[in-house]
Amino acid sequence: MNLRHLRNFWTVARMGGVARAAERLDLTPQTVSGQVRQLEEDLGVALFRPAGRGLELTEAGRMLASQGRDLLVASVILAENVRQVGGEMIERYQLGYAPDRWDGLIGKLGKGPERVKLLAAAGLLSQRDNGQSYDKFRDRVMFPIHDRRGRPIAFGGRILDAGEPKYLNSPETALFHKGRELYGLWQARQSAQKLKRLVVVEGYMDVIALAQHGVDEAVATLGTATTKEHAELLFRNAEDVVFCFDGDRAGRQAAWRALESTLPRLTDGRQAYFLFLPDGEDPDTLVRKEGSEGFRRRMHEAMPLSDYFFDTLAAEIDMQSLDGRARLSSRAQPLIEQMPDGAFRDLMARWKAAGAAPREVDDALWAEFRGLQDQFFNARQATLSEQDAEFRTNLEAKEALLAQAEAEVVPVRDLAASRAAFRSFLDAYNAHGKVPRESIRGLDNRVRALETAIRNAEDAEWKRTDPEARSRAEETVAMLSNEIDKLTEKIVKAEARGDNRAADKARDSIATYQTWLDQARETLADFSR
């Protein structure tokens, strides 16, 4: 189907006539009518019929017009995304589009009470005062938010035109708590078996733009400040974390909140850094200008937490005076007390006590600090090796449970039995605790495959039993059958008056409608299988 012809058809349908559509499209009426006729020929059906001095849609025209705008908008968005983001990123982050309709999601997934209840619980529907439900996301580019196993648990939506809010996130649900999730973490974990570093940025497009340029370790908070749960999740997946913020006042306030959440989690081997961007820049624009190497160079040059900590506390303090050093000490002490015990905390305390020491003393302390960090890293690696040895027993048990579940669950012949077997498997599987790091991804993939098999079987069962979908299929069959009957009568009348051209045109239309009818009957037959 030619999208230009579709656009012109939809404009004629909306404007109610060729002349008004041509004026809107800045084309000649002859061009518009010719392209609409070409579209009719391509489809093999009439889309318009005369009505007074104007045109009205045929049944086929109404069907096409109802979906035409969504097709056009989706094509524009897809083209723009391909130009700006790239098809690989669209697939990797599963970007999509929510049509500009109040009932787009309901129309696709069903309007039954139970289905509406589920969609509302998932945060995908809103309710009017009269209790009527409608789509929460409309005319927005959609960003799925995934959990640690890669399952979508929420969405973010960016408006296409001017309006507020620019970004809209799913509300918190039983599955989704924005203070505990990070956008892009699932994709970052797929990029490397072991992440050395994670960089925290502010928005979805920042994450995607960085990944497009080879910086795969970017994640974003979901419209909220960095929480203690975020900090723990970050350090659970990487030993170094770089917080990337705007250099303005708001960015530095956000950075300080991140520091406060991070301090209690700075166990030995963990390090945090702060990268403040130039005025007017964000990660998206900066990486497009400087490339991945330029952005990585900025990350390597990011300010260590200790420097940001004391620089911020010492701001507007005269460090050359005893009073100034005392004020620094009083500001720093409550925060340092939140840090875990160990050499890092001790060294930070020594640094605080030194105040405005001579340069050679600061340099010596910094060298000692870096040396201790190396020691911490080595000690942490040794500890992890010991843990991996201990976790091998858990690994063997989980692999045995997986093998048994794979034999019992798939292929899914009895959905209820497979679902029960999977639940029993999960209970036993989760009871065995941690496994070596290098085994986590492989185990997760196998668990996810079982989960996907169950989900696909549930979807297939729903399709077989969905009463609303069956009703729609029945209505479609009836409508198309009725249209074929009308065209058959038209053939009889045309032949009676010797109008072979009209008869042949009606036969061509019947052939097209018959194809659609056969497809609709196949869909309807699925409900009885």
For residue range 136-153, what is the model confidence (pLDDT) as tens digits? 998 888 999 998 888 899
For residue range 448-457, what is the model confidence (pLDDT) as tens digits? 888 888 878 8
Question: Is residue 5 pLDDT above 80, yes or no?
Answer: no
Distance CA 292, CA 298 (A): 10
Which of 69, 84, 117 is at the close of a domain? 69
For residue range 296-313, what is the model confidence (pLDDT) as tens digits? 999 988 998 878 887 787
Q: Is residue 105 part of a domain?
A: no
| pLDDT on residue 19 | 84
Distance of CA 168 to the CA centre of its chain: 12
Q: Is residue 475 part of a domain?
A: yes
Q: Model pTM?
A: 0.54
Q: Please give the DSSP secondary-structure letter assigned to residue 261.
A: H
User: Does one domain contain both 458 and 470?
Assistant: no
Q: Is residue 129 part of a domain?
A: no
Which of 69, 101, 120 is at the close of a domain? 69
Distance CA 503, CA 487 (A): 9
User: Does one domain contain both 383 and 440?
Assistant: yes
User: Does one domain contain both 397 and 459?
Assistant: yes
Would you state the structure tokens that stand for residue 141, as one six-digit string?
């580019």
| pLDDT on residue 63 | 79
User: Does one domain contain both 443 and 384?
Assistant: yes
| pLDDT on residue 330 | 64
| CA distances to 173, 409, 410, 458, 459 from 452, in Å | 22, 11, 10, 10, 10
Question: Is residue 81 pLDDT above 50, yes or no?
Answer: no
78 band by pLDDT with thresholds 50, 70 and 90:
very low
For residue range 229-251, what is the model confidence (pLDDT) as tens digits? 999 999 989 989 999 998 888 88
Q: Give the domain range for residue 498.
A: 466-526
| pLDDT on residue 468 | 61
Q: Is residue 441 part of a domain?
A: yes
Contact of 228 with 265, CB cutoff 8 Å: yes
| pLDDT on residue 505 | 85
Query: What value, to the nearest 5°, has the Cα angle with vertex 435 and ends 429 and 438?
Result: 125
Helix (H) or strand (E) holding 283: helix 283-300
User: Does one domain contain both 455 and 500?
Assistant: no
Q: Is residue 201 part of a domain?
A: no
| Overall average pLDDT of the 419-434 stretch | 83
For residue range 360-386, what is the model confidence (pLDDT) as tens digits? 655 665 565 555 555 555 555 565 566
| CA distances to 94, 146, 181, 225, 231 from 175, in Å | 19, 11, 10, 20, 20
User: Does one domain contain both 510 and 486?
Assistant: yes
| CA distances to 132, 397, 439 from 390, in Å | 56, 13, 13
Q: Is residue 483 part of a domain?
A: yes
Q: Please give the DSSP secondary-structure letter assigned to residue 410.
A: S
Question: Is residue 496 pLDDT above 80, yes or no?
Answer: yes
| pLDDT on residue 144 | 94
| pLDDT on residue 82 | 42
| pLDDT on residue 223 | 81
User: Does one domain contain both 455 and 471?
Assistant: no
| Overall average pLDDT of the 140-169 stretch | 84
Q: Is residue 211 part of a domain?
A: no
Which of 54, 69, 84 is at the close of a domain? 69
CATH of the domain at 37: 1.10.10.10
User: Does one domain contain both 15 and 54?
Assistant: yes
| pLDDT on residue 230 | 94
Q: Is residue 224 part of a domain?
A: no
The count of structural domains within the chain is 3
Question: Is residue 273 pLDDT above 60, yes or no?
Answer: yes
User: Does one domain contain both 433 and 475?
Assistant: no
Contact of 39 with 80, CB cutoff 8 Å: no
User: Does one domain contain both 390 and 449?
Assistant: yes
319 band by pLDDT with thresholds 50, 70 and 90:
low
| pLDDT on residue 258 | 93
- Averaged pLDDT score across all residues of the chain: 80
User: Does one domain contain both 440 and 471?
Assistant: no
Contact of 520 with 480, CB cutoff 8 Å: yes
29 band by pLDDT with thresholds 50, 70 and 90:
confident
User: Does one domain contain both 421 and 487?
Assistant: no
Peptide bond into 165 cis (omega under 30): yes
